[in-house]
Amino acid sequence: MTVRAAAVLVAAAALALFLPGWAAAEWNLTRNGSVVTYDGRSLMIDGKRDLFFSGAIHYPRSPPELWPKLIERAKDGGLNTIETYVFWNAHEPEPGKYNFEGRYDLIKYLKMIQDHDMYAIVRIGPFIQAEWNHGGLPYWLREIDHIIFRANNDAYKKEMEKFVRFIVQKLKDANLYASQGGPVILTQIENEYGNIKKDHAVDGDKYLEWAAQMALSTETGVPWIMCKQSSAPGEVIPTCNGRHCGDTWTLRDTNKPMLWTENWTAQFRAYGDQVAMRSAEDIAYAVLRFFAKGGSLVNYYMYHGGTNFGRNGASYVLTGYYDEAPMDEYGMCKEPKFGHLRDLHNVIKSYHKAFLWGEHSFEILGPGYEAHVFELPDEKRCLSFLSNNNTGEDGTVIFRGEKHYVPSRSVSILADCKNVVYNTKRVFVQHSERSYHTSEVTSKNNSWEMYSEVIPKYGNTKIRAKEPLEQYNQTKDASDYLWYTTSFRLESDDLPFRGDIRPVLQVKSTAHSMIGFANDAFVGNGRGSKQVKDFMFEKPVDLRVGVNHITLLSSTMGMKVKICRNSAAYLEHEMTDFAIL
């Protein structure tokens, strides 16, 4: 075997409605060091409650030259926080050898966020999923004896703790935590562990307890979170991931605030999938349902997806990541999604005092109709959310003696609990269209080259085995391609094939695709899909008297796993092997 290396924005200013006398909130970001705390209502910066509108923008998925524009545009969209994962296999491709250059310069990225007077949420994991190759875990972990990923396993916990403490110290050295005057107000340990907790049974709880205590012991001065959970150990805050956390998630730790770490703005694209759409109206509806029930932080996943460069994408994931986010793959505003959410942020910020300090009450107005009210009677401030949760049924409700029309599946914000200043279904933003034109600059003087690789034969190989060796373990994630070859001799008496009858080469593979050759002649190809992971390569071949050569080129596209979205338990055992039948 031989291993081969892997080869017009249209933006319209939407109508934002405000009532006289209500000033927009100013974000409270200090450079002198802040105390970040929380209670059952919200996060607090130096004892002051705040609202947090956050957007996920991953630094490795965009060139550094684009980072300032992305951050600036996100701030123009009404965000005050940027969220990102930390990518272990990008930063430590080999044990003890670190990379923080170019697109992986996490420190530079966080400092840019600070320069724009915005907060940051850093999700260390270090397993991150993120539709990223191997879930962000470096390949070399698999070569550690007796290791079990994301489990109460000493070998894994040792390496995980080493990396987490390394990242925390790197952020501390750069004074990036809010307690040091930096932008980072939250850090995350682990990631969506509820997806696999059942596979680890009791030991899963022990692992989470250990992870929480380990994280807290780093003394960052800011809270830690665990996402997609209803409860979390100790002082760690559990958070929600999903599309409608206001209606589908119950926070069991009532002394902790309701935080939404992933509001999915669309869906990542995979080969063979349809375009994943989610309307601006549905996202806005979900946000206001969450805030009406006491939420105070929402993070849009993704706000800008960017590009899976090189070999970064996970199994079957396209290079264009979350192109239907409020900012598309190229950083342009995706209207009306960008503008409609911007208006929502601006309206809520304008009435933040009643929302954050007001007394919360709830009222049923009819079947599927609700009113959530936040009121400061002494200051005559009142903010209410009128919800129509019925699908396809517009309606009118009476609230405090006034009649209000509420479209189906929408939420209206009432300033002073009287005047509608925003409705999630009424969009005052012009739709944008994106068109592509050939660039004269990039198309000039192009020269194309073809590389022809010799189809290897058994005699050319150095690694030999009686059975095919597992691809991922052989390439060590340095390539997506691996040649398999075998040779055998046939005598004339061994050729029972006559006329139209031909021998068939059958290979059952769990890689992504395969190309087959017999005696240097191409015989066909096969591939799997996101829905059906393994496939059968079955092609007729022509054999001859004497020595015959069978050669297969197996390829993967991101490390695949057996269950949805790259978060399987026992990922360390996942293989891309195949069997010749």
For the chain, the C-alpha Rg in angstroms (whole number) is: 27
- Residue 124 tokens, joined: 């260390």
192: CB partners within 8 A, 6+ apart? 129, 227, 228, 241, 567
Q: Is 581 exposed, middle or buried (0-12, 13-18, 19+ CB in 10 A)?
A: exposed
Check whether the bond before 336 is cis (ω within 30° of 0): yes
Identify the active-site residue in 83, 92, 131, 262. Answer: 262
Overall size of the chain counted in residues: 581
Judge whether 246 and 362 are in contact, CB under 8 Å: no
Judge whether 324 and 19 are in contact, CB under 8 Å: no
410: CB partners within 8 A, 6+ apart? 281, 285, 387, 388, 423, 424, 425, 426
Half-sphere exposure of 478 (CA within 13 A, CB side): 10
Half-sphere exposure of 416 (CA within 13 A, CB side): 9
Helix (H) / strand (E) element for 215: namely helix 197-216
Check whether the bond before 575 is cis (ω within 30° of 0): no
- Residue 468 tokens, joined: 């095919």
C-alpha 166/C-alpha 297 separation (Å) is: 28
SS3 569: coil
- Phi and psi at residue 482, in whole multiples of 5°? -150, 130
Identify the active-site residue in 92, 131, 159, 192. Answer: 192
Q: Of 140, 63, 165, 162, give the one whose Cα is nearest residue 104.
A: 63
557: CB partners within 8 A, 6+ apart? 271, 313, 315, 316, 480, 512, 513
Q: DSSP secondary-structure letter at 556?
A: -
Judge whether 110 and 187 are in contact, CB under 8 Å: no
Q: Of 119, 235, 111, give the one whose Cα is nearest residue 170.
A: 111
Q: Is 13 exposed, middle or buried (0-12, 13-18, 19+ CB in 10 A)?
A: exposed
SS3 94: strand
- CA separation (Å) from 23 to 317, 347, 374, 428? 44, 10, 18, 22
SS3 370: strand
Is 192 considered catalytic here?
A: yes
Is 72 considered catalytic here?
A: no
Half-sphere exposure of 458 (CA within 13 A, CB side): 14
Active site residues: 192, 262
